[in-house]
Every structure is written in C-alpha cells, then in structure tokens.
C-alpha cells in the first residue's frame, strides 16, 4: 500500500493481484451477474486509486475495498430487482444478463434478498465478524445477526 502511494507500479500490481479475486467473487455472489460484478469490483479499485493519496496507511486496504464493493453490489442488485419487477409486469423482452444458476450453494444464495446475500458473503467468504460487518454496512449489529440467521436458515432449506 505504501509503495503504491509513492507511485510504485509494481506495488500497485501486487495490491491488485492480492485483492481482485475476492472482491470480484464477493460482488458476483451478491449480484449473480458476472459482467456487473466485474464492473463493481473494477470500480472499487478505481475508487481506491482515486483516493490513494488520501488513504490512511494505518488502516488495512482489504476491508476498505470490500466495503465499497459490497455496498455497490447491494445497490446494483436492488436496482436490478426493481427494474425486473417493473418490466415483468408488462411482459418485458429485456435481455437478462444474469448467469444461469448452477451450483447448489449459488442457487441457495440466489433465493435470498441482496441484503442477506451480502451479509452471508461478508461473514462466510470474507471472514468478517458480525461487528465488523455492522461497521462495513452501517447497520446495527442486531440487524446483521438477524439477516445472517434468516439467510442461513433459508439457504439450509434450499440445500
């Protein structure tokens, strides 16, 4: 991080290689659309680069990036759901960019609302504690716990 702030392209590349796969995967698991997930993760990195000079070196980069990516993924998934609901009411011919859901865990995740998906991904893919998730999403800790519980219960039923 320090090297990237000083202008080292190789350190920037190392930062990208270390954080891209998880950021991309987290976005995909929330939005279930590979192209949109790519955009979200990419823009998370671009936002990071724009703010690189102002970034506090004492703080870890990963949680900061995950906060941007997961919040944007929730917004994108909500917007997509709204658009589909509105269009399905009149038999839309819009091309659906979402990927066909194949794996069982992905199918179970797909059945959750975006907010629950995000909490499950933050907890079980990225390994954050409920307290850290509450800070990441600006939610009360109780809300995080209940979303996590409901999400996992629903997934268990599907699996």
* Shortest separation between residue 59's beta carbon and another protein, angstroms: 10
Binding of another protein at residue 7 (CB under 8 A)?
yes
CA distance 7 to 5: 5
Binding of another protein at residue 110 (CB under 8 A)?
no
For the record, the structure tokens of 114 come out as 């975006």
**Residue 116 burial by Cβ neighbours in a 10 Å radius (0-12, 13-18, 19+):** buried
* Shortest separation between residue 142's beta carbon and another protein, angstroms: 22
CA distance 27 to 36: 8
- Closest listed residue to residue 41, CA positions, set 52, 54, 53, 30: 30
* Residues forming the site for another protein (CB under 8 A): 4, 7, 9, 12-13, 16, 20-21, 24-25, 28-29, 33-43, 45-46, 49-52, 54, 56, 72, 75-76, 79-80, 83, 86-87, 90, 92-95, 97, 99, 103, 105-106, 120-121, 124-125, 127
């Amino acid at each position: 991080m320090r090297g990237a702030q000083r202008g080292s392209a190789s350190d920037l590349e190392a930062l990208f290689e270390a954080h891209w796969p998880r950021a991309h995967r987290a976005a995909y698991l929330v939005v279930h659309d590979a192209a949109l997930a790519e955009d979200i993760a990419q823009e998370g990195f671009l936002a990071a680069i724009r703010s690189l000079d102002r970034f506090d070196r004492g703080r870890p980069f990963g949680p900061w990036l995950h906060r941007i990516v997961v919040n944007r993924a929730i917004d994108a998934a909500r917007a997509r759901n709204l658009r589909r609901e509105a269009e399905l009411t009149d038999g839309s011919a819009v091309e659906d960019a979402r990927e066909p859901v194949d794996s069982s865990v992905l199918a179970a995740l797909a059945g959750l609302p975006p907010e629950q998906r995000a909490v499950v991904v933050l907890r079980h893919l990225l390994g954050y504690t409920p307290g850290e998730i509450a800070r990441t999403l600006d939610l009360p800790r109780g809300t995080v716990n209940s979303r996590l519980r409901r999400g996992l219960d629903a997934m268990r039923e599907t699996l």
